Amino acid sequence: MHDNLPLVCFIVCDSGPATHFAAFAKSLLVRSNLRINIYASGPALEKFQTLNLSDNICLFQFILNELNNEEEEEELAIKLIDSCLMEGAQTIIVDIANKFDIKLQEAYNKLDLALHNIHFWCYYDNPEEYVPGGYSIRSEEMIKLSKNVLFANINLVKRDSKIFSLPNIMINFNNKNIQGIGYYPTDIAENLQKRREIERKTLRAKYGWNNIKYLFVYFGGNNKIYYNQAFPAFLSFLSQIDHNILEDIMFLIHQHPAAKKQNHDGLLFQEWLVKNNHIQAMLSQLTSDEAQIIADGVLYYQTSMAPQFILIGLPVIQVGHEIGEDILIKHNLCKTAANAIELMNELKVLKNTCQLSNNIQQKQLIYGAIGYTVDWSENLRNTILDLE
């Protein structure tokens, strides 16, 4: 009887959409009579393993980093799609910005769809209309091959919305079925805000940081612009700031989970630190949750987590070789620094404003900006299960 229930399959490579898919799976199980299978690799698998999935959700591992060529990637993609078919999937949802997603879409497109009544969706998890560093370029490649595109940010499906692959190149959505559900993991932000009140002092004591007056966390990225321009610029700015400004600050460099393997930013940071050991700075060994719990303030260049920092109430500086026009910038929700003088001035301000903000109006503003709606769960069900 259980095997005859409708099956929804998620296939995911990256940790960001994995967080979303975990929430989707939980919601679908609670509100619908379904089976849920999740196929995950690399950072996505690690994310799911920390989220205490229900026993009713089947989690399967696939391995990408041992594949040697495109032919092996194509074989794996076909194997994953075939597995979904054999299990009786009616809906398959994949992330959008990993190069392997293209192989999954191509494998699906080769099916004789007359024999398979399956809905295949690619999922645009980022709330931004343009994401530097490759996400938007890969998204366009996926969208060209896809019929159905699901957006987290419900604003991005409005009639006047414009989604870009490059700053001046719009993605063509002609003849595409585009839907928005209005999801952002606001529950994570709410939970972290509560945990800060309970765990912050304990965590500082655990890592021996009780005597650190200001602990600022830099959240790293995972793309060439970040490695080659934004992160080197940030380190260069720090080198130029008067030691008296920095002496009571500890900087934690928190790497993107997918950046740790090749460790480009980690190696660059360690080389920089040898020449700048008068600055208190170190690579973070914390989880992303712990880093947000312990932080007095946050610095970043580009991350889909940026709205979450504001929802938690953390003061934020966007810092890099240039200013990216993300949601926080457009809605005047964070400070900016594109040179050493600006960073020095903003660090002075950050020291005086590192108390948590609990501005309800600010939260409502960010909800609107990221296209979040409390009805996201119903929107998801109506969209992917054809209930409307």
Question: What is the spatial distance between Cα 165 and Cα 310, in angstroms, rounded to a whole number?
Answer: 26
pLDDT band, very low/low/confident/very high, at 388 (cuts 50, 70, 90): very low
Orientation of helix 15-31 relative to helix 42-49, angle to 10°: 50
DSSP assignment, residue 260? T
What are the pLDDT digits (tens) for 146-173? 999 999 999 999 988 899 999 999 999 9
CB 22 within 8 A of CB 52: no
Whether 356 has a pLDDT exceeding 70, the answer reads no
d(CA 293, CA 188): 12
Alpha-carbon span 314 to 296, nearest angstrom: 7
- Tokens 């503003």 sit on residue: 365
C-alpha closest to that of 363 among 312, 327, 319, 288: 312
Give residue 353's pLDDT: 78
Q: Provide the CA 164 distance to its chain's centre, in angstroms.
A: 18
Q: Which residues contact 388 (CB under 8 A, 6 or more apart)?
A: 382
Question: Given a cut of 60, is residue 334 above it in pLDDT?
Answer: yes
What pLDDT shows up at residue 117? 79
Of 29, 53, 149, 144, nearest in space to 94 by CA:
149
pLDDT beyond 60 at 33: yes
Confidence of residue 3 (pLDDT cuts 50, 70, 90): low
Q: Which of 1-15, 239-253, 341-355 has the lowest mean pLDDT?
A: 1-15
The 3-state secondary structure of 265-306 reads HHHHHHHHHHHCCCCCEEECCCCHHHHHHHCCEEEECCCCCH
Write down the pLDDT at residue 159.
83
- H/E run at residue 159: none
Question: Mean pLDDT, the chain, as a whole number?
Answer: 92
DSSP state, residue 179: E
Outline where DSSP puts E strands in 167-315: 169-170, 177-180, 214-219, 249-254, 281-283, 297-300
Confidence band (pLDDT; 50, 70, 90) for 4?
A: confident
pLDDT interval class at 387 (50, 70, 90): very low
Q: Between 115 and 334, where is the model more confident?
A: 334
Q: Is it the case that residue 355 has pLDDT exceeding 70?
A: no
Q: How do strand 164-166 and strand 169-170 relate by DSSP bridges?
A: antiparallel
Mean pLDDT in residue range 379-383: 95
Domain 187-369 fold is Rossmann fold (3.40.50)
Number of neighbouring beta carbons within 10 Å of residue 265: 25
| Res 202 pLDDT > 50 | yes
If one compares 70 and 363, the residue with the highest pLDDT of the two is 70
Q: Which residues pair with 217 in a beta bridge?
A: 252, 298
Q: Assign 150 to helix, strand or coil.
A: strand
pLDDT tens digits for range 93-144: 999 999 999 999 999 999 887 566 789 999 999 999 999 888 999 999 999 9
Q: Where in the chain is the domain with CATH 3.40.50.2000?
A: 2-184+373-384, 187-369
Alpha-carbon distances, residue 111 vs 107, 142, 262, 299, 385 (angstroms): 7, 17, 36, 46, 21
Q: Say yes or no: domain 2-184+373-384 is CATH 3.40.50.2000.
A: yes
| Residue pLDDT, tens place only, 240-293 | 999 999 999 999 999 998 888 899 999 999 999 999 999 999 999 999 999 999
Strand partners, 350: none
